[in-house]
């Protein structure tokens, strides 16, 4: 079982976006961050989720249960 937490952030001054992802498996944490391209924070939140799911697919392909948390 994996737990995945995602969030996105927007810098309003220079209109840049970032995604943060936390994966927890067996009490071990993996933190990921990405600079992303988005049109607004709403889209950035979805991009963060996609990055997180892609990471899980690549690193835990046989995992059958994922708890996903986002704001």
Is the Cβ–Cβ distance between 19 and 7 less than 8 Å? yes
Q: So what's the pLDDT on residue 64? A: 87
pTM of the full predicted structure? 0.90
Q: pLDDT tens digits for the chain (71 residues)?
A: 999 999 999 999 999 999 999 999 999 999 999 999 999 999 999 999 999 999 999 999 998 899 999 98
Q: What is the pLDDT of residue 52?
A: 97
Tell me the torsion sign for CA atoms 17, 18, 19, 20.
Answer: negative
Q: What is the reported pLDDT for 71?
A: 86
| Helix ranges, 1-71 (H) | 41-59
For residue 56, the tally of other CB atoms under 10 A from its CB is 18
Structural domains of the chain, ranges and CATH numbers in brackets: 2-70 (3.30.420.10)
**Separation CA 30–CA 37 (nearest Å):** 23
Max alpha carbon distance in the chain (Å)?
A: 42
Polymer length in residues for the chain: 71
């Amino acid at each position: 079982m994996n737990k995945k937490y995602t969030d996105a952030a927007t810098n309003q001054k220079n209109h840049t976006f970032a995604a943060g992802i936390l994966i927890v498996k067996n009490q071990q944490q993996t933190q990921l961050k990405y600079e992303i391209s988005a049109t607004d924070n709403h889209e950035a939140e979805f991009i963060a989720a996609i990055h997180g799911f892609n990471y899980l697919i690549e690193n835990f392909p046989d995992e059958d249960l994922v708890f996903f948390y986002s704001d």
